Amino acid sequence: MKKILVVLMAFLFLNGCDSGTLTEKEDLFQYKDSYVGDNGAVGNITRELPMPNGEQMNGLELKTTDEPYGIIINYEEAHISEDEVTNYNELALYNASIILSLVKNADWVQFNFLEKEMTVTREEIENWYGKDLRDFAGEDELSAFIQEYLQDEEQVNAFFE
């Protein structure tokens, strides 16, 4: 759990740096109540999410033709840090929670990581949390809520069984 927090903190710090100039992190909740079909909003949300070690985002697919609507995030190989190992279960739950809290008509999110493919549905994750993710009003509140659940590694792993 501590590793994911370190990875998230490093990502947030590095994400705020641009050509040596510190910039403010984008407020993701400006995209609250966006729709799967709004590729600009969904793209801006996903670019701000933590990435797996050694991978970078390589495009989105927005499934808007037939319900249930969903989002597929594809990853490709990038620079690998030998010191960090990605916990894909924690990362998928964290990122899906953010997306499903902001994109009101998204019913599922699929992550095509290099090592595995993972899908998280709104129904499954909200049953796991016991709460509608669309009820959160701010990123800090949502992030703190998610982190409470990610602390229990057995519970996180059981979600994907």
pLDDT value, residue 9: 40
Question: pTM to 2 decimals?
Answer: 0.83
Number of domains present in the structure of the chain: 1
**Partners of 103 in the beta sheet?**
34
3-state secondary structure the chain: CHHHHHHHHHHHHHHCEECCEECCCCCHHHHCCECCCCHHHHHHHHHCCCCCCCEEEEEEEEECCCCCCEEEEEEEECCCCCCCCCCHHHHHHHHHHHHHHHECCCCEEEEECCCCEEEEEHHHHHHHHCCCHHHCCCHHHHHHHHHHHHCCHHHHHHHCC
pLDDT value, residue 84: 76
Reported as a single tens digit per residue, the pLDDT across 45-83 is 999 999 998 999 999 999 999 999 999 999 999 876 666
Instruction: Name the residue range of residue 22's domain.
Output: 2-159
Residues of the chain with pLDDT under 50: 1-23
pLDDT value, residue 117: 97
pLDDT value, residue 104: 96
